[in-house]
Structure 1
Amino acid sequence: MHSTSLSITPLTGTPFGAKVTLPDYANNDPANLNEEDFQKLFEGVHENLVVVIPNQAELLPKSQYLLTKRFDPTLPEPKGDTGAGYGHGKEFRHDKSVLKKDGCSVKSQPQVQILGQGKFAADEPGNENGEEISLTHPSHTSFHHSPLTEDQIKKEGRTRFYRWHIDSALYDLSPPVVTTLLGIKVPPTTQTQTIVYEDDTGDKLELTQGATCFTSGQRAFEILSDEDKEFALNTTVEYAPHPYIFISPAGATSDGLTMVSEGKEFKFEELPEWEESKVKKLPMVWTNPVTKKHHLQLHGCCLHRLHTKNADGSVTTLELKESRERAHQLMRPAIAPKNVLAHSWTEGDLVIFYNRGVWHSVTGEFKAIKTDGADERRLMHQCNIASSVDPTTIK
């Protein structure tokens, strides 16, 4: 079937999301879209929040970078071969950061990260670096306060949301507009795992091994009470300096929404040098520029304080523990199973998500090597680019 223009088809059986079919002239490279079709894709991503372009396993890192960059007209033009930088900056590889094991950069296109699980030879597809690489899939067992037991993982087939988050450094750099995530090598989708919500709801979510989960910030805002909407619209989220280092001694809640408060975080004087002017203070609600809808957008693990402007003009500030508790109360309804898009990966899927309109989480437990004839290795390319401007709320 020939296609002369880009088409977008909503996914079925999911709370949101869409599938994209590229036009023939693009030669299966979305970086080749003309301005009219790219504008259709731009609007489709903002409206559907997550879109999937199949059969992209051979997409070059340069094309992925150029496509990602195109979503943010505030970004500077490329200088030489580098251009705009990766959305987390360089500090995410700091040896005390919770992100330190999350892959490596593509040497020829450092804005693109290589993520996954297992060892890959220099000549394997997706390994662009010309040398063997070893990748570690993020597991809740190294990040949560009280992880699942070995029996719960292996015998009961359970997993957890690793960390619900927005892709952003949350210090100095502004949140990226979109993230592109390309599945080059993925395990078969025949194996499933289950998330059991460890609260009094009895909620469960069955998903394929390693599914990436998304929830809509728009939906998260819409289901708030009127009182909570007013609170969110008038609240600024202050993030900790170097937040991924700040939280690294602590452990996350079992749903991956925030951290358990035990005073284990690094003291500010123990962090790498930081400047007050670079500390991020972002609105709790971000307005989608295409739909004009409000999205509840906050990173519950990295926040430090909440500042709420009251009707009389005064400001109420919640400190760390209370801020986490309030954030959890606002966020938890949005991750109920009926609200979660759990993307089951097929090799070649290119997922583009509106990073300023959704939260997402890694899931899944993987074996590092082939066992029982099953290859559970996985390799993905991820790209997001720090914006030049912060998101805003239009009331």
Structure 2
Amino acid sequence: MTTTTATVPSTIISSTPTLSLSATPLTVTPLAGEPFGAVVKMPPYTNDPSALNESDFKILKEALLTYSVLVVPNQANLSPESQHKLTTRFDPSTGTQYGHDEKIFHSTKSILAKDGKCVPRRPEVMMVGNGTFEAGHEGMKEFKLEHPTHHTFHKKLLTEEEMADGQTRFYRWHIDAALYELAPPVVTTLLGLIVPSTTEKQKILYEGSDEVKEVVKGATAFASGKIAFDLLSEEDKEFALNTTVVYAPHPYIYINNCKATSDGLTIESEEPPKETPFDELPTWEESKVKRLPLVWTNPITKNPHLQVHGCCVYQLVNSKTGEVVAELKEARKIVQRLMRPAIMPKQIYCHGWNAGDLCIFHNRGVIHSVTGEFGREEKRLMHQCNVASGEDPFLLK
């Protein structure tokens, strides 16, 4: 795609085909053939996105909030310090707290316990991936990472025949957030260091339809909250705009013994219940339970985004009256119905990784999911960073 150079206004119109600066050749070009997302070309004075000057960083931030996912190639040398600096630069209200309480995150009673290991000198940066790695990486002793697989989390599993046919699943659609006490991060950065073959493909079959999505093995899937909202009926839009999501306290421990639906959007409600009883959870306070709008406003475009972590939802509440409109089982069904159209093949962007790719994504504008089935010793290594915000997302009405 041909890019152009032009002065960019402080407010970006979402139909703008290419964003760039007249003074420097930093360019942001929409991804060809994708429903959202863009690729960034760095300016000649630095290849470190955390070191961009103020005017260039402003372009980067406005582009992120416009296109939701930015891909910055050739970042294999980005240090954990620079990745942390870049991530926090997007949100002036943020502190130094990782997006999750680390003690709860690594609890053996949490579904997230195996999801990664912290870089010792910069614990907000998490190492995720698959395989065993020798001592020396970022000061680590020998360590092992385990790629999430639907075999440990989904209620209904792919058969051996389906696996042999090259099928995979969306593991868990989610927002990077503790969803208890801490405010959801504004941005997540994900850096691919060791990645599987970029030519090997797997496919996702959509249960209950003829739809198929082919993905590069290990691709990260993104679904747009804006698209999700736009696809709703007028009645559902009205419902969503007037609904608050109540999340379970310590939600990843609450659902630790549960299994997900085959689309990865939410949890199967079973009898007897598999959820951890509230009185068996770590100590929690009612005031720290997260109550967030079902629809969040994009601060640049002002577009409404349907944003919900369907696996952790507990109740849906009327924002005006405070009345509970859906308890756990029904709340899950409603969230799955509302979000399902937005994860269909033509609506999502699945990033197939090249070594050195840095994905910057608007954690308050998209949900995302791991895909891919790996062999036990197949290696994949990524650095992920998100930092809790100082304030919760909001909805303008």
Above 0.5 in TM-score?
A: yes
- Shorter-chain TM-score tier: over 0.9
Query: What SS does structure 2 have at the residue aligned with 1:341?
Result: strand
Residue 78 of structure 2 corresponds to which residue in structure 1?
59
Structure 1 gap segments, 5+ residues each: 77-83, 370-375
> Aligned equivalents of 1:130 and 1:147: distance in 2?
35
Q: Is the partner of 1:73 in helix, strand or coil?
A: coil
Corresponding position: 1:35 with 2:54: yes
Please state if 1:7 is matched with 2:15: no
CA distance in 2, matches of 1:89, 1:5: 40
Where does residue 336 of structure 1 map in the other structure? 344
Partner-residue secondary structure (3-state), 2:189: strand
Q: Tell me which amino acid in the other structure corresponds to 1:251.
A: K
- The one of 156, 163, 169 equivalent to 2:178 is 169
1:89 counterpart = 2:89: no
Task: Note the alpha carbon deviations across 1:326-381, whole angstroms, 9 max, x for none.
Answer: 11110100001000101000000000000000000000000122xxxxxx310000
Q: CA deviation at 1:7?
A: 1.1
Letter aligned with residue 279 of structure 2: E
Which amino acid in structure 2 is aligned with residue 295 of structure 1?
Answer: H
Q: Distance in 1 between matches of 2:140 and 2:328?
A: 45
Native 8 Å contact 2:267 2:332 kept in 1 = yes
Residue of structure 2 in register with 1:186 after alignment: 195
**SS class of match (2:45):** helix
Going from structure 1 to structure 2, the CA distance change for 1:287 and 1:151 (only over 3 Å counts) comes to same
* Seq. identity, %: 57
What's the RMSD between the two structures over aligned residues?
Answer: 1.1
Q: What CA distance in whole angstroms lies between the structure 2 residues aligned with 1:276 and 1:297?
A: 22
Report the counterpart of residue 377 of structure 1 in structure 2: 379
Q: Matches of 2:258 and 2:101 in 1, distance apart?
A: 23
| Equivalent residue for 2:323, pick from 315, 323, 327 | 315
- In the alignment of these two chains, the number of paired residues is 372
Q: TM-score, normalised by structure 2?
A: 0.92
Correspondence for 2:126 among 113, 133, 139: 113
Match of 1:24 in 2: 44
**Alignment pair present for 1:72 and 2:91:** yes
User: Secondary structure of 1:86's partner?
Assistant: coil
Q: What residue number does 1:324 align with?
A: 332
Please report how far the alpha carbon of residue 149 of structure 1 lies from its aligned counterpart in structure 2 after TM superposition. Answer: 2.0
- CA distance in 1: counterparts of 2:25 and 2:306, whole angstroms: 33
1:219-245 Cα deviation digits (max 9, x unpaired): 000010000000000000000000000
Residue aligned with 2:156, SS: coil
Q: For the Cα contact (< 8 Å) 2:119–2:140, is it kept in 1?
A: no
Q: Which residue of 2 aligns with 1:362?
A: 370
CA shift digits 1:106-149 (9 cap, x unpaired): 001000000000011124xxx21331110000101100111112
Partner residue, 2:165 = 156
Partner of 1:128: 138
1:300-329 deviations in Å (ceiling 9; x for gaps): 00010000246xx47343110010011111
TM-score (norm. length: structure 1): 0.92
Counterpart CA distance in 2 for 1:267 and 1:89 is 20
- Answering whether residue 360 of structure 2 is matched by residue 352 of structure 1, we say yes
**Residues 66-109 of structure 1: per-residue CA shift (max 9 Å, x gap):** 00000001124xxxxxxx11101211101110000011000010
